[in-house]
Structure 1
């Protein structure tokens, strides 16, 4: 499997030092998953505290799936032929139309879930009688395992958003530091100020962060 380009971008440029081992974790999970479920064609790991998703996909499996034609896009009642976002969504859906089963496995540490592992397979019964083995190998919480909850490969979308999410977080972090220094409060208190300002104004925290940087930088 290969890292999604956005996952590579996030790992290479934006991930904090505390997350340096994410790619190694992905590769370890890949090894266990492929050995246990040879039909596995993709996997995602979501770090719950950071709300970040990283994805590996079998590019050969994806390339074998048919790409939508212009005629098919025009025929869709939901996607206009000139709607680039709609085209991209439809292409993505068709590219992974071969996903026939999924399993989501939470990993719990000290009584709380810290990450979620999502596995995707090309056959309908790929995970039948294999979940126990996956749970044991991956250190997941068996009672929290959920099958076929993400046949639409929603974690792929979240992984594609990871670089932008990290850029936004960096913007907010810088603004919080500036506010803390200017007002004379802790960074935790400054973050609350930024969040409260965003809530009162009905805007995103990143918009408040831009204003804060303009005022205090």
Structure 2
């Protein structure tokens, strides 16, 4: 006896408005997801979950700032620590990968492709004969750690910009003479425009 998949029959009067067959429903879901990703790419993330989606979508779209990152040991270590809390790898993985990060032959601030950074970490783990270097879970942990690190980096950069804007609003910014003159001219121009 061969079992056939059962499709729900829809009356012709509602068929145009109500898709209940699997392919049509999947297309609707895909369209909704695509629209949400487009909205997220345009407006930016508002939650941690959206930040993950945003990071992957930017990477898949090929954005320069998602493909290339600045090498920073402390940010990478924070990323691996954070992702290890959510995605626990093998014992010793975090210690090993933090040690490998410091061993990489790169200066702080060096721009590197994210994929290459992941490959370098995995190759270093293989060369150092780390027990986990060929384990699927730890390979994924390397990817998540690097992705998480640069999500943290983006968050810190956004916070710095926000803090700078807040301190400007509070008048805590110290301007040099030429900057002060430019700001005063701008203020006078705006004031003159507002009086009209």
Task: Give the TM-score taking structure 2 as reference length.
Answer: 0.29
More strand by share: 1
Greater CA radius of gyration, 1 or 2?
A: 2
More helix by share: 2
